[in-house]
Structure 1
Amino acid sequence: MYFNGIYHLFYQYNPKGAVWGNIVWAHSVSKDMINWEPLDPAIYPSKPFDIKGCWSGSATVLPGNRPVILYTGIDPEERQVQNYAIPANISDPYLREWIKPDNNPIVVPTGDINSSAFRDPTTAWWSGGHWKIIVGGRRNGKKRGMADLYRSRDFVHWVKAKHPLHSNKDTGMWECPDFYPVSLFGTKGLDISVNGQNVKHVLKVSLDHTRYEYYTIGSYNLALDRYFPDNTSADGCDGLRYDYGNFYASKTFYDPVKKRRVLWGWANESDSQPEDINKGWAGIQAIPRKLWLDPSGKQLVQWPIEELDSLRGQRVENNNVKLNKGDHVEVKGITAAQADVEVSFSFRSLDNAEEFDPSWVNAEHLCGQKGSNVQGGVGPFGLLALASAKLEEFTPVFFRIFKAPNKHVVLLCSDARSSSLGQHLYKPSFAGFVDVDLADKKLSLRSLIDHSVVESFGAGGKTCITSRVYPTLAVLGNAHLYLFNNGSETVTVDNLNAWSMNRPRIN
């Protein structure tokens, strides 16, 4: 949340080790969301209503500039209950201390609610004379995912609505739900309580059984207090995702300073638990992203917040670079292990694009089948990030274009299978399709490379992929960055800008 000139980030944290357990609400503050100062934990188990755990939730700034935290506590009966906390000293700009009033919990599992699947209350919105939140869940004995709706006039006494805001069969537990408005026009964000003409709503859920997140765009019916997804994308496991890689338990908030909606996502590790213990930490926050509705109205677009540019150092630029089949061209002059790369590609013709098989509905499987070394027509072309000098290790981020009867299909891959010689790693071929018009025969890519993470944005942020990778050779000064093309169609790098990235202040 943003409060009195300060951005506050609260996050699930184990102060006793690099494994899950002993969870508290860690607390860091920043003036730009890039440079952070950690404070003491804001919330930790201390009362009967949270003595067995302080799990995820949200912050709401109430009228009168009064921040309130809602969070899930685990009580002595192992029930998941919803609690609130308020600042001990509202005049402290860092809000270091939080009080948990004794009238907690304020929401308990009743009726058919599964008390072991009832968590992660959202930021509250105001409509129809009530504050409203949703809590993620799963219907008792069934696989139906739930966004149960609660209403309150005073933010303390909450009543469960007869119907959920939304639910869906066969999706399992809905974790970390998020519900917010987006404008039909422009890139500015909206406060959580805005509704009406020229507004759509987004419902995002993190599916526990897939460990991926899915969202739909639709309409919020105030009279019924129900959310209805548009039929422009699947509502469920085959639906749209913020990120087609290692990205989970995300949360957005409205930034009133720059009038934008900002998305935070968590990228967990892809190595083993003993390796996490050895290095002493596990899990990172992805770079915060500005988020808005694509002009088509069918999907969201994301882009790293502009403050990230403040870390840019040494810059190199390459223009009009021809990449023929089999070419690998090194991008020199930057720190390839910690870089920000923006590149625009073009191609003369799409005639050589491979035929698209309609059975290729799973982008990740398709990327695994047609990796960066499998020759194609138009593509694969893109970047080889975190590459060793002799390419024993590399993380390719690339496009591949296919020809379907009435359109072209664009695939974006971030393939970790060749990323490391290390053992016991999860090395998937992450991928997503890109809904983009190729009339101008151009595609753009931005990749943020930071030692163990490659965060990529295809076609201006229409499709995003975060990969966790752990090279053993391509580390620090031994990391390289290449442009490549393994397609028969020549690809031109119209423009490439790459920057060495400086370190932010973390503590």
Structure 2
Amino acid sequence: MNGQHAGPTYYRGWYHLFYQYNPASAVWGNITWGHAVSLDLVHWFYLPLAMVPDNWYDANGVWTGSATILPDGRLAMLYTGSTAELVQVQNLAVPADPDDPLLLKWVKYESNPVLVPPPGIAPRDFRDPTTAWYVPSESAWRIAIGSKNDSQRHAGIALVYRTSDFLSYELLPGVLHSVAGTGMWECVDFYPVSTESATGLDTSAAAGPGVKHVLKASLDDDRHDYYAIGTYEAATNAWVPDDPEKDVGIGLRYDYGMFYASKTFYDPVKQRRVLWGWIGETDSERTDLRKGWASLQTLPRTVLLDHKTGSNLIQWPVDDVETLRSGSQEFSNVSIPAGSVVPLDVGTATQVA
């Protein structure tokens, strides 16, 4: 599994995780969408492949995408397709049966692609649309797409498009943000966090008092995920970091281990923002082929603004994982002299916290 998350969402009682997957081998290629569902983010059921590369506009892979839940409950899925000519384009797919909570079948829009690289953007530097956010003053949605601008000192950028129907799009002037020297921005994520409460916010939560916005990019150059906290102005289509010295790509990372191509989604059930990342491991392709699989998903994490500092995010495994605990044993009043070892009988436990 390539691992990059594609459209994680909550739909009609089920959590859905789509991910890039090669059903034919344990190495990259033939990228399709694997699909798994869960009732609790802990126990997962594998479902049939959700989407496969079967059209000219995704002949070389069904790549990363994002889900948007519309006000009437319908779901729109935008995803990047690599065309037969290796051009990166954006495509629309919708559930074949909106009443199916498992989303087993999908219909690709007959006039795909809905977006192609704009002038000045290289054909292979235009990918990974975000979840859309709604701008009431425009009665329209916006999405961001990652790219780069080599004419501006190898700058990573996020382009923003406006749409009212997810079929036709307008490229807004300028960029959401740009950071010189950071290279191609993959898997851009853009979402609000509350400065006042310990609950997550829907992606369309309005900017303003009590709300900051997180901009995150996965840097193709060094394969790490960087984020920054800042202020979003919809009127000017601009996001400004609170601390320029901790800007995207030069400041904070979600994780300092192997963690890449992450994506968040808003969970309306527990009012939280859930973060997933991809662990690519360090095994060679030869080893992956011998063992028959490659790559892992992280435990899903809840992510919030750190209200004590206001300058970083805090994250921890979703509380659902507590259901995996089958028992507990506490040790108290244990004296451990310096330089000594004190054995503790923890029974047959496989984890200690």
User: What's the TM-score, normalizing by structure 2?
Assistant: 0.92
Which shifted more, 142-151 or 173-182? 142-151
Q: Structure 1 residue 145: deviation in Å?
A: 0.4
Q: Is the counterpart of residue 310 in structure 1 residue 323 in structure 2?
A: yes
- 2:112 alignment counterpart: 104
- Asked whether 1:223 is paired with 2:235, we answer yes
Return the offset for 1:163. Answer: 0.8
Counterpart residue type for residue 114 of structure 1:
A
What residue in structure 2 maps to residue 210 of structure 1? 222
In structure 2, which of residues 260, 280, 295 is the aligned counterpart of residue 283 of structure 1?
A: 295
Partner residue, 2:176:
165
1:137 aligns with 2:147: yes
What is the CA-CA distance between 1:92 and the residue it aligns to? 1.2
1:273 CA displacement: 1.8
Question: Which residue number in structure 2 is paired with residue 298 of structure 1?
Answer: 311
**CA offsets 1:450-477 (integer angstroms, 9 cap, x no match):** xxxxxxxxxxxxxxxxxxxxxxxxxxxx
Which secondary structure does the structure 1 equivalent of 2:235 belong to?
coil
1:162-194 Cα distance to aligned partner (Å, 9 max, x none): 111111110011110100000002210000011
2:278 maps to which of 251, 266, 270: 266
CA distance in structure 1 between the aligned counterparts of 2:42 and 2:303, rounded to whole angstroms: 17
Cα-Cα RMSD: 1.7
Give the unaligned 5+ runs of structure 2. 1-8
Structure showing greater radius of gyration is 1
Letter in 1 for 2:279: A
Residue 334 of structure 1: how far off its partner (Å): 5.0
Larger strand percent: 1
> In the alignment, residue 184 of structure 2 is paired with which amino acid?
M
User: What is the CA deviation profile of residues 124-143 of structure 1, one whole-angstrom value per residue up to 9, with x for unaligned ones?
Assistant: 00013221011111125651
Tell me how far apart the structure 1 counterparts of residues 169 and 340 of structure 2 sit (CA, whole Å). Answer: 62
Change (3 A) 1:276 1:163: same
From 173, 189, 195, give the equivalent of 1:184: 195
Distance 1:70 1:259 in 2: 24
Structure-2 separation of matches of 1:54 and 1:329: 54
- CA-CA distance at 1:317 after TM superposition: 2.0
Amino acid at match of 1:53: G
For structure 1, list consecutive stretches of 5 or more residues without a partner in the other structure: 343-507
Listed as ranges, the matches of 1:50-449 within 5 Å are 50-127=58-135, 128-129=137-138, 130-140=140-150, 143-195=154-206, 196-231=208-243, 234-295=246-307, 296-321=309-334, 326-329=339-342, 332-333=345-346, 335=348, 338-339=350-351, 341-342=352-353
CA pair 328-291 structure 1, distance change in 2 beyond 3 A: farther
Alignment match, 1:495: none
Q: Alpha-carbon deviation of 1:236? A: 4.0
The residue type paired with residue 278 of structure 1 is R
1:294 Cα deviation from its structure 2 partner? 0.5
1:328, 1:23 → 2: CA distance?
Answer: 51
Using the TM superposition, name which of 3-12 and 311-320 deviates more. 311-320
The 3 A distance-change label for structure 1 pair 149 and 172 is same
Matched, 1:7 2:35: no
Distance (whole Å) between structure 1 residues aligned to residue 334 and residue 283 of structure 2: 36
Q: Which amino acid aligns with 1:289?
A: R
Distance 2:59 2:289 in 1: 25
Q: Is the 8 A contact 1:248 1:266 kept in 2?
A: yes
